[in-house]
Amino acid sequence: MPIIGIIASAITGHLGLTVDYLVVAGGGGGGKSRGGGGGAGGLRSTVTATGGGGSLETALTMALNTSFTVTVGAGGAGGTSNDGGNGGNSVFSSITSTGGGGGGSAVGTGTGVNGGSGGGGAGNNGLKAGGTGTTNQGYAGGNSPDTASNYGAGGGGGSNAVGVNGTGSTGGNGGGGVATSITGSSVTYAGGGGGGTYNGGTAGTGQAGGGNGKTNATTGDNATANTGSGGGAGGAQPGGDGNGGAGGSGIVIARYSGTIQKAYGGTITTSGGNTIHTFTSSGNFYTGTALATGGTITFASGYFYHTFLSSGTFTPTQSLSADVLTIAGGGGGGMGGGGAGGLVYLSSQSLTATGYTVTVGAGGGGAANINNTIGTNGSNSQFGSTTAAVGGGRGGINLTGPESQGGNGGSGGGGGLTFSGGTSGDGGTGTAGQGNAGGNAPAVSSSPHSSGGGGGAGAAGQNFVSNTVAGSGGNGVNTYSTWASATGTGANSGYYAGGGGGAIYGTGGTQGTGGLGGGGTATNATPSNPGVTNTGGGGGGVGAGASPTFTSANGGSGIVIVRYAV
């Protein structure tokens, strides 16, 4: 081979991240009606010990700057009409652990199901074998005896031991799990579920978080989540059958040497000079670092997210294409609800290795006194020189002039109260493509009277409903719920930019609720409920019951999120 080729090969051999792993599949569900215990999910490990009595697995050398799919297997369903369900496989790169086998059922064939570890055989007339385990992952389930009386069923197999056989009076215990110290502490995973019995007797015990079996017409215990252990079996009695318990979901843990983070994905901790990534649900493991600096950085489903809760700078280390979500600060409440901050989404922005200024707008101030002093609009948010998200409009107050009208903004503020002869309390207008108008409130001759809700990114603020029912804030949008989940932001399960609720002038009545996405709900207390921080939600209005200060609430601050795929 030419010298240059030798050098290239030598270099290439070191271009990877050496990763230890623990991959545990979901445990099998326990069987119905004096059923067998669920088998543990298969366990493969490079640290301390591995499943099925095998030799330790070999650490992976994983290519750099590559995203690897991580699958965490679900626990198998407990048997409700027959055998327990098998657990789901767990996968980390090229490593697959097999889901645990379901426990057999006396109302089915009675035989335990094969899996990572096998399910236990059901207590039935005649010997019923446990399911087989997978080589170097787990063990077989226990058998049931060819004995009557309490028809003890076999325990589910564990990653470290065969499930215990049932007897005429006892259900078998689950097989033991494997203890591993990959996280820095010894934790035992993947034990079998306990077998059930008929009309008394002693049911089997689950191991390592596995569910206990039951007697009589009692449902078996569920296994503990993220242990990969098997579910407990249901019992039986004359005229009644108990269902099986569910198996526990699996877990995937990756570890590499050093406390400097070299990868993203899962929950990241350090211990004993190692960095540990723990996945309790499916995701991605990315062997590299972010391609930019700035904001709070997270990684999910193949994307890096940079979340700016306050102003800063986003600086790529190379040219890249990014999506940008920009939300302005919500408007302050008055008597009418504050409008949500404008929402701007820009896709596939071509960015270069230079700094981009990120401005996160503050929420607008609430009205200091809804009888004479208006609040303020929210402030704009902007990413670099792209289109700015416009701050939400402030809510209208209790005056006869234009102050009763909601402010224009990203979404408009809700209209306030106006007595006859004054200007009607119209809602403010929203900015096209960013938000919606606030709700209106007509002029009246006496109290009580109500105001309009602030507009939201997804819907206009509600008009005043009646003299005693105020308009609610317009809902925001949950189009970006995956962004919210990846960054831990948003409100109401992934909504952004909801409008604030309008308030009642006078006693009694129904205050307007805040729109989904951080809008504040109106009150008769002072101050009212503010918009949720970093959602762009509008501030809630305040009613006349808040005397003597009549102070309304601030809008929620905005947010800017940048994401790009790797």
pLDDT tens per residue across span 56-78: 999 999 999 999 999 999 999 99
Comparing 172-181, 206-215, 446-455, which segment has the lowest mean pLDDT? Answer: 446-455
Q: For position 400, what pLDDT does the model report? A: 65
The answer, yes or no, to whether residue 370 has pLDDT greater than 90, is no
Would you place residue 15 in the very low, low, confident or very high pLDDT band (cuts 50, 70, 90)? low
Comparing 15-19, 27-31, 171-175, 376-380, which segment has the lowest mean pLDDT? Answer: 15-19
Comparing 131-135, 298-302, 362-366, which segment has the lowest mean pLDDT? Answer: 298-302
Q: How far apart are CA 312 and CA 27, in angstroms?
A: 46
Q: For position 108, what pLDDT does the model report? A: 87
Picking from 194, 145, 152, the residue whose alpha carbon sits closest to that of residue 169 is 152
pLDDT tens per residue across span 434-484: 999 999 998 776 677 889 999 999 999 999 998 889 999 999 999 999 999
The answer, yes or no, to whether residue 4 has pLDDT greater than 50, is no
Q: How far apart are CA 384 and CA 376, in angstroms?
A: 25
* Residue 447: count of CB within 10 angstroms of its CB: 18
The answer, yes or no, to whether residue 14 has pLDDT greater than 50, is no
pLDDT tens per residue across span 34-52: 999 999 999 999 999 999 9
Q: How far apart are CA 387 and CA 174, in angstroms?
A: 62
Q: For position 1, what pLDDT does the model report? A: 32
pLDDT tens per residue across span 317-341: 999 999 999 999 999 999 999 999 9
3-state secondary structure at position 264: strand
Q: Which three-class secondary structure string do you get for 31-85?
A: CCCCCCCCCCCCEEECCCCCHHHCCCCCCEEEECCCEEEEECCCCCCCCCCCCCC
pLDDT, mean of residues 226-236: 98
φ and ψ at residue 56, rounded to 5 degrees: -55, 140
- Cβ neighbours of residue 424 closer than 8 Å, sequence gap 6 or more: 404, 405, 415, 418, 440, 441, 442, 443
User: With left for phi above 0 and alpha for psi between -120 and 50, is residue 294 left, alpha or beta?
Assistant: left
Query: Which pair of tokens denotes residue 20?
Result: 């230890």
The answer, yes or no, to whether residue 3 has pLDDT greater than 60, is no
495 strand-pairing partners? 491
- Cβ neighbours of residue 109 closer than 8 Å, sequence gap 6 or more: 83, 128
pTM above 0.85, yes or no: no
Q: For position 419, what pLDDT does the model report? A: 60
Comparing 219-223, 511-515, 526-530, which segment has the lowest mean pLDDT? Answer: 526-530
Q: For position 421, what pLDDT does the model report? A: 56
| Contact indicator for 333, 300 with CB cutoff of 8 Å | no
Q: For position 506, what pLDDT does the model report? A: 73
The answer, yes or no, to whether residue 349 has pLDDT greater than 70, is yes
Q: For position 414, what pLDDT does the model report? A: 97
Query: Which pair of tokens denotes residue 406?
Result: 């909601």
